[in-house]
Amino acid sequence: MDVSLTWKGQPLSLGTEFDSFTHKARLDAYEGSRDAEPFRSLRRLLVAALTAVDFCPYPEEWWHFSYGDQHWAYNKGLPAAPYGRVGPDGD
């Protein structure tokens, strides 16, 4: 899923727009940079909140988190995602 943070209904800047596929979109892009606030702190807050409820961040996109898919299963050390095949009729 794609998520962000807001304050009083207004989106907060986390350093890039959604779908800005540049090096600054990486989750860790502002780590180690002295002039990266508030982007670094806001990204850390987003990660802390979502990992606390078992979501996994996608390192290439600060806004993308997984739960129950193959990326999530891999990061949790599981052999497969917990869902199975779904056909066109829902079976």
Domain ranges of the chain: 6-75
pLDDT in tens, 17-60: 988 999 999 999 999 887 789 999 999 999 999 999 999 999 99
Token pair belonging to 76: 């949790």
Token pair belonging to 23: 């090096």
Counting residues of the chain whose pLDDT is more than 70, the rounded percentage is: 93
Calculate the average pLDDT of the chain. Answer: 91
DSSP 68: S
Arithmetic mean of pLDDT, 3-21: 93
What is the number of other CB atoms lying within 10 angstroms of the CB of residue 8? 4
pLDDT of residue 82: 86
Closest to 66 in 3D by CA, of 51, 78, 56, 74: 56
C-alpha span between 72 and 33 (Å, rounded): 28
